[in-house]
Amino acid sequence: MGRYHSHALRQGRQSLAGHCYLVTIAARDRQPRFAEFQHAACACSSFYADSVARHANTLAFVVMPDHVHWLLQVNGNLSEAVRVYKARVSCLLGERIWQDGFHDRGVRREEDLRPIARYIVANPLRGGLVDNILDYPYWNAAWL
C-alpha cells in the first residue's frame, strides 16, 4: 500500500479567515513525546503564545501522548497558524517533534463548536488515560 500524502490534499485549498477548524497534529513517528511533563506543558502553553495567537484563536485543545487536537478560529491562513505552532513547540524543546503535515476539518456551523470541544476534551477518557477528565491536565476549552 502506498504512503499517505496528506500534504498533497492541501494543494490548492484555501483556508478562510474567521472560520473554525478542527486540526490534528501527530508527533513524529507517533512516538509518545508528550508523555513527558515538560513536552506536554510546552505544547499546551504554546497555543496561547503571542506568535500563535496572531494567526489563530484557540477555542479548545487536548495534548495526547502522541498527538494534539486543536479547535481554532483562524485569523489568516490555517497552514501558517499550524506551522507557527509546530515551530514554536519544536524550538522550545530543541528538537523536531512533529510529523509532517496535519489533518484538518472545517467547522461549518457555530452550534457544532461546543460538541466538537467536548469530543476533543474527552480524548483522554476514550484513550484510557484517566477515568475523570479533571485528572488530565493537558487540555483547555473556551467554554469553562
What's the half-sphere exposure (Cβ side, CA atoms, 13 Å) at 36? 9
pLDDT > 50? residue 12 = no
- Please report where in the chains the cell 509532517 appears, as a residue: 100
- The structure's pTM equals 0.88
Instruction: Report which of residues 108 and 45 the model is more confident about.
Output: 45
Domains in the chain: ranges and CATH: 6-141 (3.30.70.1290)
The tens digit of pLDDT for each residue in 69-98 reads: 999 999 989 999 999 999 999 999 999 999
The tens digit of pLDDT for each residue in 31-42 reads: 999 999 999 999
